[in-house]
Amino acid sequence: MDLFRSPSWLAWLAGWAALAFAVVRFASNRRERLIRAFGLPETLSRLTPPETAFRRSWKTGLLLSGTGLLFVALAGPQWGVELVTTEAKGSHVLLAVDTSNSMRAEDVPPSSRMEKAKNQMRGIIDGLKGQRVGVIAFSGRAQLVCPLTTDVEAAKTMLDRVEVGMIPQQGTAIGDALELATKILGKYPGHKAVVVFSDGEDRRGDPVEAARDAVKAGVRLFVVGVGTPEGGPIPNRDASGALTGYLKDKAGETVVSRLAEQAMIRLAGAGEGAYYRATPQESETSAILKHLSELDRSRIQGGSANQFKNRYRLPLFLAILLLVAELLVPERTKAEPPEKDRRKRPAVLGGKPAALAALAFLLSGCGAPAAFDLWGGNRSYAKGEYEAAAKRYAEAGKAAPHDARPGFNSGAADYKRGELEAAADAFTKVAEAPQTPKRVAPSSWYNLGNTKFRQEDYGAAAEAYRRCLLLDPQDEDCRFNLVLALRAKKQPPPKQDQKDQKQDKKDDKGQQPPPPQPKPRPKAGEMSQEDAERILQAIQEKEKATMRQQQAQQKAVKPPPQEEDW
């Protein structure tokens, strides 16, 4: 029910009304019985003024009406919309796990070091709900497995795919993992953290310098040692999991992997964090989560949303007015003086005319027509009736000419029904108006850019996106659309003649697809299919670029020869 924020209070109002009616009837019947006990009603009526019963009814009506309006105020009547900004804050944490062959050692219960590390990482991810968490795997080099995300289930799913040997280049390059984590976390404000799970047998050099660089970037380092100082052999197993032997070095001796605890303690100290050894009770997980909860939280996501205005003040004010009036209305009037002693009194405005005047004064300043037209336009927009929505927004704009919302919503409705010229005019007026709120202006420039893009005016679209970024530099969607507009302006897509459209529909093989068309932003709490596809395409392109860069680095730089591959 859109007219009330908490409609359950209306059910309480119905129950209270039934109870109040029963109580009033009971009190009236009891009063009549008591009067009959004193004498005949005809005789007793001469002792009380005739207006007493009328005034008593008025007082009862005022009391019941005022109390009923209190329930209406609690229900939260709402009409009209307002643009509000939402923001969420959280910390940024990357979990780095060692995937070298030494993590197959089974010197920690209940199974291998890798399974122990993954179990503890799952516990930390569950404890970081609402925060951004990512996963890095490293052995001879580091690789991002799961980007920073607030979806803990997705992070755990990606963690399940981590296994020993997933990175072909063997070794334990903790420094590379710290450099990758610092590069990812460095662009976020506030304090961040990296939690490393490893046995510490680093065959690539001393990672202390990488830890110090991380501290300079605001990244704290927590290290969890997985293994025992006594160590254990590294088992070799076949596809069925059966033991086939143990890993041996070039001399034919069985390799014993030990926990390099002193090196890891020194690494945690350089990273201004803490070191923990993995225990069967996994008590270190709660200690790490406590440290992570003390990190400064920064903005991780935000946006704007339209929501209905809560108009509880009007019924609340009327309720207080009626309850005060009930207290001021006497049950009987004072006895009038004799005719010869009466004095003329000055006339005053009171009673029913005063109440009507106060009510008219209240309603004159509440802007009800514009609010109702906005509300009706939003309902029509939600149903896909864009032409009806545009008419309601136009009426709202006439009633409230200084309000930016009718013009903004009218542009969105015109865009939806294909009236691009009208949409561009509406968004331009809202964006350039001096009274437009700062939180609405960037969205107006953004939607103006989308409209110009569809009109194939790529230069104007790029300029609109640029103005949007000047007002909101953190808008990644606007930045992405600016790149599309500049690309289309530099190399416009080929246009097709109308005569050839039917033939193109029959056989479009080999034709260049049209450029992606940006859309206006969805309403509160929603993401359009076009936005989702665009974001997914950007992520895929970024992943492809990263893979190409990694492949080029692998071809250009050959890994140094090493004797140990665990």
What does the pLDDT read at residue 236?
Answer: 86
pLDDT at 353 over 60: no
Smallest CA-to-CA distance from 148 within 131, 127, 162 is with: 131
Give the bridge partners for 359, in sequence order: none
Q: Are 218 and 91 in contact (CB under 8 A)?
A: no
pLDDT at 241 over 60: yes
- pLDDT tier at 144 (50, 70, 90 boundaries)? very high
* Amino acid (one-letter) located at 58: W
Structure tokens at 249: 């070095």
Crossing angle of helices 441-454 and 476-490, in 10° steps, is: 30
What does the pLDDT read at residue 96?
Answer: 94
Q: How far is Cα 207 from Cα 171, in angstroms, rounded to an integer?
A: 13
* Amino acid (one-letter) located at 242: A
pLDDT at 277 over 80: yes
Q: Is the pTM of this model over 0.85?
A: no
- pLDDT tier at 524 (50, 70, 90 boundaries)? very low
pLDDT at 502 over 60: no
- pLDDT tier at 136 (50, 70, 90 boundaries)? very high
What does the pLDDT read at residue 297?
Answer: 60
What does the pLDDT read at residue 89?
Answer: 67
pLDDT at 65 over 50: yes
What does the pLDDT read at residue 123?
Answer: 92
- Of these ranges, 48-57, 105-114, 346-355, the one predicted with the greatest mean pLDDT is 105-114
Structure tokens at 40: 């005949």
Taking residues 339-350, what's their average pLDDT? 39
pLDDT tens-digit map of 383-438:
888 888 888 888 888 888 878 888 888 888 888 888 888 889 888 988 888 888 87
What does the pLDDT read at residue 34?
Answer: 74
* Amino acid (one-letter) located at 96: A
Smallest CA-to-CA distance from 395 within 416, 419, 376, 417 is with: 376
pLDDT tens-digit map of 13-38:
888 888 888 888 888 888 777 767 76
- pLDDT tier at 222 (50, 70, 90 boundaries)? very high
**Residue with the larger pLDDT of the pair 565 and 410:** 410
- pLDDT tier at 340 (50, 70, 90 boundaries)? very low
Q: How far is Cα 46 from Cα 38, in angstroms, rounded to an integer?
A: 14
**Residue with the larger pLDDT of the pair 368 and 207:** 207
What does the pLDDT read at residue 221?
Answer: 93
Residue at token pair 């009971």: 26
Residue at token pair 């109580």: 23
Which residues fall within 8 angstroms of residue 341, CB to CB, at 6 or more apart?
A: none
Looking at 311-315, 342-346, 519-523, which range is the least confident one? 342-346
Taking residues 57-72, what's their average pLDDT? 86
What does the pLDDT read at residue 536?
Answer: 53
* Amino acid (one-letter) located at 437: P
Question: What share of the chain in percent tops pLDDT 70?
Answer: 73
CA 85 to chain centre: 10
Q: Are 137 and 167 in contact (CB under 8 A)?
A: yes
Taking residues 146-164, what's their average pLDDT? 89
What does the pLDDT read at residue 539?
Answer: 56
553 C-beta neighbours (distance < 10 Å), count:
10
- Of these ranges, 369-383, 507-521, 528-542, the one predicted with the greatest mean pLDDT is 369-383
Q: Which CATH number fits domain 92-235+245-296: 1.25.10.10, 3.40.50.410, 3.40.640.10, 3.20.20.70?
A: 3.40.50.410
pLDDT at 195 over 90: yes
- pLDDT tier at 194 (50, 70, 90 boundaries)? very high
CA 206 to chain centre: 41
**Residue with the larger pLDDT of the pair 495 and 124:** 124
pLDDT tens-digit map of 288-315:
998 888 776 655 554 555 667 778 888 8
What does the pLDDT read at residue 301?
Answer: 52
Domain ranges of the chain: 1-81+309-331, 92-235+245-296, 369-493
115 C-beta neighbours (distance < 10 Å), count:
17
Q: Considering the chain, what is the average pLDDT of its residues? A: 76
Q: Which CATH number fits domain 369-493: 1.10.357.10, 1.20.1300.10, 1.25.40.10, 3.40.50.300?
A: 1.25.40.10
Taking residues 504-526, what's their average pLDDT? 39
Taking residues 42-61, what's their average pLDDT? 69
